[in-house]
Amino acid sequence: MGIKILLADDHRLMREGLRALLEEQTDMSVVGEADNGKSAVQLAAKLMPNIVIMDISMPGLNGIDATCQILSNCTTSKVIALSMHTERRTVLEMLNAGASGYLLKDCAFEEVIQAVRTVASNSTYLSPRITEIVIKDYVHRIPKNELSSLSGLTTREREVLQLLSEGKKTKEIAELLSVSIKTAESYRQQIMDKLNIHSIAELTKLAIREGITSL
């Protein structure tokens, strides 16, 4: 049957290019495409792909949190990050979320194929620029004070934080998450209390710094 792949990237050109090249491989097929994290989670649950190739910076729900949700719901799926981010903390967050691979967007296409086959065979693939020794050190030996300041937030609070930082109003957030406006307001207050931040501008700066969203 081959390796079933879901592409998650908010750039259509990137998805189309990957699809065309991946489907040239006789052992691979692209079963779906998502242009945001929320859609990626929904499609993964529906299509049960072997591999999800996941961008990190996406609207609505970023690739890190989308990865957490996908791997929680689809235990047979594996995620490969395909990102421009090389920051230590972003890489650490993605691997801690459960990603089995991490590629940089400037890699050669042959490396994407190699990563897909490696991860599909239950191994880990990391771009040569992110060495195995360094990443193991990030995952296993990083001091607690080096972890994201968002580590105390729940999954839903992180989702609300991203939406707030993307300029969504409380009513819009309530509609997107199918909750009441009062509940959405409650999430916002909980986030501010936990982070000791009391303005949307400061929350946005933090979200960008932590890789939750991008400019």
Q: Domain total for the chain?
A: 2
Same domain flag for 102 and 16 = yes
Instruction: Determine the Cα–Cα distance for residues 113 and 160; give it in Å rounded to an integer.
Output: 35
Same domain flag for 169 and 126 = no
Does 91 have pLDDT greater than 60?
yes
The tokens for 2 are 């081959």
Query: Considering the domain boundaries, does residue 214 fall inside one?
Result: no
> What φ, ψ does residue 177 adopt, rounded to 5°?
-100, 0
Same domain flag for 130 and 164 = no
Q: Residue 187 sits in a domain of what CATH number?
A: 1.10.10.10
Cα dihedral: 188, 191, 196, 197 (round 10): -50
Q: What is the model's pLDDT at position 213?
A: 80
The tokens for 128 are 């040569």
Same domain flag for 38 and 8 = yes
Query: Considering the domain boundaries, does residue 189 fall inside one?
Result: yes
Q: What ranges in 33-167 are assigned the alpha helix state H?
A: 37-47, 63-73, 88-96, 109-120, 132-141, 155-165
Same domain flag for 124 and 186 = no
Q: What is the model's pLDDT at position 145?
A: 52
Q: What is the mean pLDDT of residues 137-145?
A: 58
Q: Is 49 helix (H, G, I), strand (E, B) or coil?
A: coil
Least confident of 86-90, 154-158, 163-167, 191-195: 86-90
Q: What is the model's pLDDT at position 144?
A: 53
Q: Residue 35 sits in a domain of what CATH number?
A: 3.40.50.2300
> What φ, ψ does residue 162 adopt, rounded to 5°?
-65, -45
Q: Is 3 helix (H, G, I), strand (E, B) or coil?
A: strand
Q: pLDDT (tens digit, 9 = 90+) per residue, 22-72? A: 999 999 999 999 999 999 999 999 999 999 999 999 988 999 999 999 999
**How big is the chain, counted in residues?**
215
Q: Across the beta sheet with 101-104, what order do the strands follow?
A: 28-34, 3-8, 51-54, 78-83, 101-104, 125-126
Q: Is 25 helix (H, G, I), strand (E, B) or coil?
A: coil
**CB of 55 closer than 8 Å to CB of 82:** yes
Q: What is the model's pLDDT at position 173?
A: 94
Same domain flag for 136 and 94 = yes
Local confidence band at 96 (pLDDT 50, 70, 90 cut-offs): confident
